[in-house]
């Protein structure tokens, strides 16, 4: 058939074949089929204007095959390279910002340091530098090194140089630590400041405790599985009462730091953990996969929002040691599994064909018929 939208025609015929192929093997597959087909049909409305609908649909399926929901460990978003990850991360943050501003009038976001800031860089570019309501952002730090704000180790300096100085965030909405006091005093001061903003509901409050409920907490992860400044086997992992605590013996320099505690992190509406590089693949595996009780104390594995959403943004190298078994995922949402792989493989075959206007299939061995 040819209804004037080749992208939609391709979607219908390709997914019809896919439906026949899968329906008897996986009883739940019709649900996946209908969901995917609906999305493709909606998106394909704009495909003809972009040029090649087969390529656009293939790109869509490729992205879908690398994202999903892992049982008990949140959403996995796995990317081929850092550029794709940065683009997806910027879009994700922008969408959360828009939703929060519409619902509450503000967007309370807590960030960490390291390579995370560089990966947020696309927020400084079009369209986000213009479309994000930066005046409604309130920026906090999930952890900070107790050094001067001008010091090279300062997470504040890293964020200011790489992000905050490039977008119109209101300076008074940037909530950094007091860098002129001890680590203990800095933690106490920062917690007091956060408590004042919870009282005014600039930061929301948890439904299940008195903890602050940040709209988004963005974390990186070290090769040892640490997040924020919560390191393996450190006593601060057991802190239940304080919102912000301090350490003076960080295994990574500098030794003095302040950090959100696990109850605060797990009270957030959204927590995103961003991990890249092969050196962290083993820690990603231990933090996400079902590896038994041996790794339950790994800090990254202890990140589990009570009522919020957890998402992992990974590049292909960081995800290289993740388990592939189908039962590890919440079917049918997980596309990084055997179903997702088969969808992608079958589509690779299907897009080697081209639909003619009468509904026939023309193999790309000769020139395509004209008039289609």
How many other C-beta atoms lie within 10 A of the C-beta of residue 167? 15
Distance CA 294, CA 288 (A): 13
Q: Give the DSSP per-residue string, 172-236.
A: GGB----TTS-HHHHHHHHHHHHHHHHHTTSSEE-SSSSSEE-SEEEEE--TT--BTTB-TT-GG
Task: Give the model's pLDDT for residue 277.
Answer: 97
Task: Give the model's pLDDT for residue 70.
Answer: 61
Distance CA 138, CA 135 (A): 8
- Give per-residue pLDDT as tens, 143-195: 999 999 999 999 999 999 999 999 999 999 999 999 999 999 999 999 999 99
Task: Give the model's pLDDT for residue 361.
Answer: 34
- Give per-residue pLDDT as tens, 312-365: 999 999 999 998 643 333 333 333 433 444 444 454 444 444 444 334 333 333
Question: Degrees (nearest 5) of the Cα angle 130, 132, 137?
Answer: 130
Angle between helices 338-350 and 29-44 (to 10 degrees): 50
The model carries a pTM of 0.73
H or E stretch covering 16: helix 6-22
Residue 254, preceding peptide bond in cis (omega within 30° of 0): yes
> Hey, is 20 helix, strand or coil?
helix
Distance CA 88, CA 80 (A): 11
Average pLDDT, the chain: 79
Strands 143-145 and 137-141: unpaired
- Give per-residue pLDDT as tens, 212-263: 999 999 999 999 999 999 999 999 999 999 999 999 999 999 999 999 999 9
Q: Give the range with max mean pLDDT: 33-37, 104-108, 323-327, 338-342.
A: 104-108
Q: Give the DSSP per-residue string, 66-106.
A: TEEEETTTEEEEEESSHHHHHHHHHHHHHHHHHHHHHHHS-
Angle between helices 53-64 and 338-350 (to 10 degrees): 170
Residues whose CB falls within 8 Å of the CB of residue 267, separated by 6 or more in sequence, listed in order: 206, 208, 209, 211, 212, 213, 214, 305, 306, 308
Q: Which of 323, 341, 339 is nearest to 331 (CA)?
A: 339
Whether residue 203 contacts residue 80, with contact meaning beta carbons closer than 8 Å, is answered with no
């Amino acid at each position: 058939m040819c209804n004037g939208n080749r992208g939609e025609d391709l979607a219908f015929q390709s997914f019809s074949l896919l439906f026949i192929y899968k329906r008897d093997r996986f009883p739940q597959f019709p649900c996946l089929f209908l969901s995917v087909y609906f999305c493709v049909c909606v998106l394909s409305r704009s495909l003809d204007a972009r040029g090649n609908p087969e390529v656009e649909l293939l790109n869509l399926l490729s992205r879908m095959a690398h994202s999903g929901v892992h049982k008990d460990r949140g959403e996995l978003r796995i990317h081929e390279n850092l550029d794709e990850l940065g683009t997806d991360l910027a879009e994700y943050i922008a969408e959360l910002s828009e939703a929060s501003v519409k619902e509450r009038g503000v967007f309370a976001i807590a960030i960490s340091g390291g390579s995370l800031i560089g990966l947020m860089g696309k927020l400084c570019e079009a369209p986000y530098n213009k479309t994000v309501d930066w005046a409604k952002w309130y920026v906090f730090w999930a952890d900070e090194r107790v050094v001067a704000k001008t010091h090279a180790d300062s997470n504040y300096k890293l964020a200011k140089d790489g992000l905050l100085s490039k977008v119109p965030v209101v300076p008074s909405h940037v909530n950094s630590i007091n860098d002129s006091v001890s680590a203990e005093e800095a933690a106490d001061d920062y917690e007091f400041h956060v408590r004042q903003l919870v009282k005014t509901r600039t930061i929301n409050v948890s439904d299940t405790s008195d903890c602050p409920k940040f709209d988004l907490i963005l974390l990186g992860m070290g090769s040892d599985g640490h997040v924020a400044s919560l390191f393996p086997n450190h006593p601060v992992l057991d802190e239940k009462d304080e919102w912000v605590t301090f350490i003076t013996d960080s295994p990574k320099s500098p030794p003095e730091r302040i950090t959100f505690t696990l109850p605060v992190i797990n009270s957030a509406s959204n927590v995103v953990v961003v991990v890249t590089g092969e050196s962290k693949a083993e820690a990603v595996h231990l933090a996400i996969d079902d590896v038994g009780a041996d790794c339950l104390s790994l800090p990254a594995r202890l990140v589990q929002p009570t009522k919020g959403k957890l998402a992992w943004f990974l590049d292909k190298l960081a995800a290289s040691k993740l388990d592939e078994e189908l039962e590890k995922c919440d079917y049918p949402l997980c596309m990084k599994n055997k179903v997702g792989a088969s969808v992608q493989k079958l589509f690779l075959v299907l897009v080697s064909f081209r639909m003619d206007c009468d509904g026939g299939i023309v193999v790309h061995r000769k020139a395509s018929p004209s008039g289609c």
